[in-house]
């Protein structure tokens, strides 16, 4: 890692990343590393020769990285850099510490329709493309992986980190150990998915190996990368006829994470139609998704899509003024 860094702070950044690797999930560490590599390149490009970082350096870097990306992504970079700057200050370096920004959320997710889902699973179940990715198993893995994202509302990073030993076939439960903010949780699954999952493990030859990853790379003790999953899914999505362009900078388009949004909205919709009130279902759904607060769940549910307008109106009525806007935190 050290030989990839160039700036005057390369040794300190390398040490910080070494420590962070022990603290973070693989996916969180990947994002952290990406940010710090960008920051190191910037410090090198401005020829920083003194081991101190003032406010002007941070402001110029923010301007540089903000072009063409969402405010949420900028905030993610800022939070990662803030951790580095705190680390540097604690080690005796004079560093400006920026505020943590919590912008007004304007992100609009894509909600998959029934027809979208039918097309996606139909293509995934039969599609192979040897030139798409290097992983020879991905054509077998994607049909199950997509079903976990849709049926269980998992994050991609959570799904690819599942090991066979994390599956309870008796109670039909996943034990998610590698999660955002380290919040391990139990995720139940239905009997139909349980049968698919069991047959998949037999076919992959991993049923009796508790340390094997459910979605292995060539080596069963190494999981498939999120990047490979994303690349392969983009091909599936295109063949399924879902060409959803980003109509604005706040619209993500049809992506893997939108399966999680769709799961949340459909779960709330199903509960409403079954007579389960929002007051009962939303806290449960928030816990199921691994959210820190109801505010996080609210972000998943507040955008309509034509076919969920009535359901989401009911959620907004329930939410009321429960979720205040917060602009900055010290």
pLDDT in tens, 195-242: 999 999 999 999 999 999 999 988 899 999 888 898 899 999 999 998
> Which range marks the domain in which residue 85 is found?
2-101
Do 202 and 304 belong to one domain? no
246 pLDDT higher than 90: no
Number of neighbouring beta carbons within 10 Å of residue 305? 17
- pLDDT (0 to 100) of residue 329: 38
Q: Is 250 inside a domain boundary?
A: no
Q: Among candidates 77, 56, 80, 82, which has minimal Cα distance to 67?
A: 77
Do 140 and 165 belong to one domain? yes
Do 123 and 44 belong to one domain? no
Q: What is the CATH number of the domain that holds 81?
A: 1.10.150
- pLDDT (0 to 100) of residue 252: 64
Q: Is 247 inside a domain boundary?
A: no
Rounded mean pLDDT of the chain? 81
Do 60 and 83 belong to one domain? yes
Query: Which of 77-86, 125-134, 214-223, 310-319 is predicted with the least confidence, judged by mean pLDDT?
Result: 310-319
Do 92 and 121 belong to one domain? no
Do 26 and 140 belong to one domain? no
Q: What is the mean pLDDT of residues 248-268?
A: 79
More confidently predicted of 302 and 305: 302
What is the band of 73 on the pLDDT scale with cuts at 50, 70, 90? confident
pLDDT digits (tens, 9 = 90+) for 18-65: 988 877 767 678 888 999 999 999 999 999 999 999 999 999 998 888
Report CA 218 to chain centroid distance, whole Å.
23
Do 262 and 307 belong to one domain? yes
What is the band of 84 on the pLDDT scale with cuts at 50, 70, 90? very high
Q: Is 315 inside a domain boundary?
A: yes
Q: What is the CATH number of the domain that holds 142?
A: 1.10.443.10
What is the band of 320 on the pLDDT scale with cuts at 50, 70, 90? very low
Separation of alpha carbons 121 and 162, rounded Å: 21
- pLDDT (0 to 100) of residue 98: 86
177 pLDDT higher than 90: no
Q: Is 303 inside a domain boundary?
A: yes
Domains identified in the chain, total number? 3
Do 33 and 143 belong to one domain? no
Domain boundary, last residue among 191, 213, 239: 239
Separation of alpha carbons 276 and 107, rounded Å: 28
Q: Among candidates 174, 149, 158, which has minimal Cα distance to 256?
A: 149
Do 193 and 309 belong to one domain? no
Do 157 and 190 belong to one domain? yes
Domain boundary, last residue among 101, 127, 142: 101
Let me know the angle formed at the C-alpha of 201 by 195 and 206, rounded to the nearest 5 degrees.
155
284 pLDDT higher than 60: yes
Do 97 and 121 belong to one domain? no
Asked if residues 27 and 177 have their Cβ atoms less than 8 Å apart, the reply is no
Do 6 and 63 belong to one domain? yes
Query: Which of 38-47, 63-72, 79-88 is predicted with the least confidence, judged by mean pLDDT?
Result: 63-72
pTM of the full structure: 0.63
- pLDDT (0 to 100) of residue 315: 44
Q: What is the mean pLDDT of residues 283-302?
A: 69
């Amino acid at each position: 890692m050290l030989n990839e860094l160039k700036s005057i702070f390369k040794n300190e950044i390398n040490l910080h990343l070494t420590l962070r690797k022990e603290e973070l999930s693989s996916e969180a560490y990947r994002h952290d590393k990406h940010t710090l590599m960008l920051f190191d390149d910037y410090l090198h490009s401005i020829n920083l020769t003194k081991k101190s970082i003032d406010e002007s350096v941070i402001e110029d870097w923010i301007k540089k990285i903000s072009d063409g990306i969402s405010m949420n992504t900028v905030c993610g970079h800022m939070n990662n850099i803030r951790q580095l700057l705190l680390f540097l200050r604690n080690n005796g370096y004079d560093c400006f510490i920026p505020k943590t920004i919590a912008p007004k959320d304007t992100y609009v997710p894509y909600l998959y329709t029934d027809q979208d889902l039918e097309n996606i699973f139909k293509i995934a179940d039969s599609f192979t493309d040897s030139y798409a990715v290097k992983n020879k198993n991905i054509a077998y893995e994607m049909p199950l992986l997509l079903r976990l994202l849709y049926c269980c509302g998992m994050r991609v990073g959570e799904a690819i980190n599942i090991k066979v030993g994390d599956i309870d076939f008796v109670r039909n439960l996943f034990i998610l150990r590698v999660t955002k903010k380290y919040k391990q949780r139990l995720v139940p699954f239905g009997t139909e998915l349980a049968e698919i999952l069991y047959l998949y493990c037999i076919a992959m030859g991993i049923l009796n190996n508790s340390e094997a990853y459910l979605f292995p790379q060539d080596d069963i003790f190494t999981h498939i990368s999120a990047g490979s999953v994303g690349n392969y899914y983009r091909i599936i999505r295109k063949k399924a006829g879902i060409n959803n362009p980003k109509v604005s900078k706040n619209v993500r388009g049809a992506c893997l994470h939108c399966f999680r949004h769709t799961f949340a909205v459909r779960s709330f919709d199903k509960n409403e139609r079954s007579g389960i009130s929002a007051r009962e279902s939303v806290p449960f759904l928030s816990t199921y998704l691994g959210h820190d607060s109801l505010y996080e769940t609210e972000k998943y549910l507040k955008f309509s899509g034509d076919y969920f307008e009535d359901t989401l109106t009911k959620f907004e009525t329930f939410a009321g003024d429960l979720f205040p806007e917060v602009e900055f935190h010290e």
